[in-house]
Structure 1
Amino acid sequence: MAHPDPFPVSRRQFLQLATGGLAMSLSTGTLHKAVASPTPSSSVLKPPVLRPGDTVGMVAPASNVYEPEDLQIARETMEQYGFRVVLGRNIMAQNGYLAGSDAERAADLNEMFRRPDIRGIVTFSGGYGCSRILPLLDYDQIRRSPKVVVGHSDITALLIGLNRKTGLVTFHGSSGLTGVGDYAKEHFRRVIMTASPIGKIAKPPPTPEGTVERSNRLITLVPGRATGPLVGGNLTLVTNLIGTPYEPDTRGKILFLEEIDEEPYRIDRMLTQLWLAGKLQDAAGIALGHFVDCYPKEFRASFPQTISLENVLRDRFIPLGKPTLYNLMFGHVRENAVLPIGATATLDATAKTLAVNESAVE
């Protein structure tokens, strides 16, 4: 399967690179001292609905624009919804693998929340860097002017951080540079551009008659039904936030996870960390998306023997006894459904459905 991310580097490789980047920033004085974070919010804050003709701000809170044409592609992707796109003033900045300094990337986000003409905020791409700017965001301003924020992959850290600190419903969906098809666009319009109860989401497209689905086959790992607010995103980033003021609260919630380009034992290690932290046990149910290219790498096997991805998932989730459904249509895939973090949903692992019980915008 083709890699849909413009940065063909795994989340693990980005985290390894980050160690060197941190030292570089400390030596140049560009890494700002963390400030006290606001107390996590327990209230739900829904942003205004987006409509054709609205102006949205595009920012790059993680990795930089590598090719100038990529920015035009990202812009056109969001313009197809009828939006007018305004670029962040620092969107073309570069600091190694980052889109400028931490201060520059945070400044673009803060400005978009301040500007009354900006109705929503879309992201250029993922990569790495969102967790570095979380202490620099103006959460008081974000509460005063809630807006749609959408993206996935590394943007997971931003989405969870904003929701944790302000209660803002945020949107795990395609960034501008992510390739999207009709399925992804339909989900975007239904979740972000309609102030009505959303209903069933992330169900794979219909299988052509006379064929047996394989790639998008829904798999019930644990049957059952659970209801709770949605929280989650990319597994690496969810795990990366544990032990910080921005870590996700999974108590009574539907935890959704996806990943790309990690070997099964690394998936095992991250899920085990979430288990040891009590995050899996606290969840009401587990919704798993696509785990793209998460298989042993034959050219450089980490171990002579391995366990398959599906068996890792079964081993980690079945003993929990929580309703768990695998292979929902979200993650690093072209047809990426939009999942609203903070909105209440019902997972029916027996019937193989995930439904959002309310609107995510107002």
Structure 2
Amino acid sequence: MVKPPRLRKGGTIRIIAPSSAATSTSSLPKAVRFLEKQGFKVSLAPSMIRESPTRYLTAGDATRKNEIENAFKSDKYDAVMVLQGGAGSIDILNSIDYDIIKDHPKVFIGYSDITLLQLAFMRMAHMASFQGPMLIDLFEEDEAALQTNWNNLIGIISRGEEAMIKNPLESGWAKSINDGTTKGQLMGGNLTVFSLIVGTKYIPDARGKVLFFEDVNVEPWMLDNLLTSLVIKGVLKKANGIVFGQLPNYGIENISESQGVTSYLMKHLFIEDYINATMHSTLQDLFSNKMPKKPAFIEFACCHGKYITTIPMGIRVKLDASQCTMEMLEPGVE
């Protein structure tokens, strides 16, 4: 696995937007200032500041593909961070020149729809990357959460720490499904988009891997369908262990008193607890019936959520499901 050079203070971070466009650019200066205060220069790709040609993409396929290749090929940039996820990465998987990525490895940070690019980089360019805070996450109003997320990311991509990957105390405890320990190369990301490319040349073989999955606004029946499809395809059985994120449902969380007392009470008294409990029971049933001895834990704080723990894709880890931790067995950068 090719590891990118560590990001050093004073380096330039290129911001690209290979997926969805920002609904508003008013907060971009705040995020850029945050990066500059941390000691880095920031360069914005042109597609970020032009009007989107569609409702959900920053630019056409050729433009987005070229901006990815240029970000890696140019000596002016030391790391690549994406604006946000959303949709659209799948459109350019067939056109990217993966030799450029392989020959010019750089720290690459993103999650959600960006999972598709990270899996393809891992498979086609053999490059490690990082699921961690995107530019949109640097708008976070909770300063403590923002600093926790940043400190975790920078420890891995700049200082080369072989970190103990676990939930921050403020985010709540993760929960074990099947106790046990195992080792393997870390691979995964957003469950929905991961499932889109299973069986294609753009995804590494799951054999011997430690898989992690996260998602957002997934109902229990959707989770069951997605995971059962991976069981049928043999993906989950090949893996040494599995970690699941917190699977937040923003449709539920955004219900407020202004939408009526009944809706508000349903959220706080019934629906939220029901969905969380059903998510857990869905996962528990899946493992009990199909993978009773495979180490696994849930409620890991990553990606979609206030606390975004950095996950080094392609790096070997030791998973301890009873302690709900992953220990990096090697640094993620050179």
Letter in 2 for 1:45: V
Q: 2:256 maps to which residue?
A: none
- Say whether residues 1:293 and 2:254 are aligned partners: no
Cα shift at 1:217 = 2.2
1:78/1:317 CA distance change after superposition, 3 Å: farther
Q: 1:246 maps to which residue?
A: 202
Instruction: Give the unaligned 5+ runs of structure 2.
Output: 254-262, 267-273
Asked whether the 8 Å contact 2:167–2:173 carries over to 1, the reply is no
2:252, 2:294 → 1: CA distance?
28
1:296-315 per-position Cα deviation (integer Å, ceiling 9, x unaligned)? 8989xxxxx98811011111
1:199-232 per-position Cα deviation (integer Å, ceiling 9, x unaligned)? 31132326xxxxxxxx622211001101001001
1:58, 1:308 → 2: CA distance?
38
TM-score by length of 1: 0.80
1:74, 1:243 → 2: CA distance?
37
1:161, 1:220 → 2: CA distance?
30
Q: 2:259 maps to which residue?
A: none
Identical pairs, percent: 31
Q: 1:131 aligns with which of 79, 86, 90?
A: 90
2:241, 2:19 → 1: CA distance?
30
Instruction: Give the unaligned 5+ runs of structure 1.
Output: 1-43, 207-214, 300-304
What does residue range 329-348 of structure 1 map to in structure 2 within 5 Å?
329-348=301-320
Asked whether the 8 Å contact 1:65–1:71 carries over to 2, the reply is no
Q: Which moved more, 1:88-97 or 1:107-116?
A: 88-97
Q: 1:323 maps to which residue?
A: 295
Q: 2:190 aligns with which of 234, 245, 253?
A: 234
Asked whether the 8 Å contact 2:175–2:297 carries over to 1, the reply is yes
Q: 1:158 aligns with which of 117, 130, 133?
A: 117
2:237, 2:252 → 1: CA distance?
28
Q: Which moved more, 1:109-118 or 1:78-87?
A: 78-87
Q: 2:283 maps to which residue?
A: 313
Q: 1:204 aligns with which of 139, 163, 168?
A: 168
Asked whether the 8 Å contact 1:226–1:284 carries over to 2, the reply is yes
Letter in 1 for 2:209: K
Asked whether the 8 Å contact 1:123–1:150 carries over to 2, the reply is yes
SS in 1 for 2:76: coil
Q: 1:83 maps to which residue?
A: 40
2:77, 2:251 → 1: CA distance?
42
Letter in 2 for 1:181: L
Cα shift at 1:295 = 8.8
1:294, 1:323 → 2: CA distance?
29
What does residue range 1-362 of structure 1 map to in structure 2 within 5 Å?
44-93=1-50, 94-96=52-54, 97-178=56-137, 179=140, 181-196=146-161, 198-205=162-169, 216-293=172-249, 308-318=278-288, 319-320=290-291, 321-362=293-334
What value does the CA root-mean-square deviation take over the aligned residues?
A: 2.4
Higher helix share: 2
SS in 2 for 1:231: strand
Cα shift at 1:294 = 7.8
SS in 2 for 1:310: helix
Letter in 2 for 1:183: T
SS in 2 for 1:287: strand
Letter in 2 for 1:57: R
Aligned residues: 308
1:160, 1:71 → 2: CA distance?
27
Q: Which moved more, 1:331-340 or 1:306-315?
A: 306-315
Asked whether the 8 Å contact 1:49–1:192 carries over to 2, the reply is yes
1:283/1:342 CA distance change after superposition, 3 Å: same
2:23, 2:297 → 1: CA distance?
36
TM-score by length of 2: 0.86
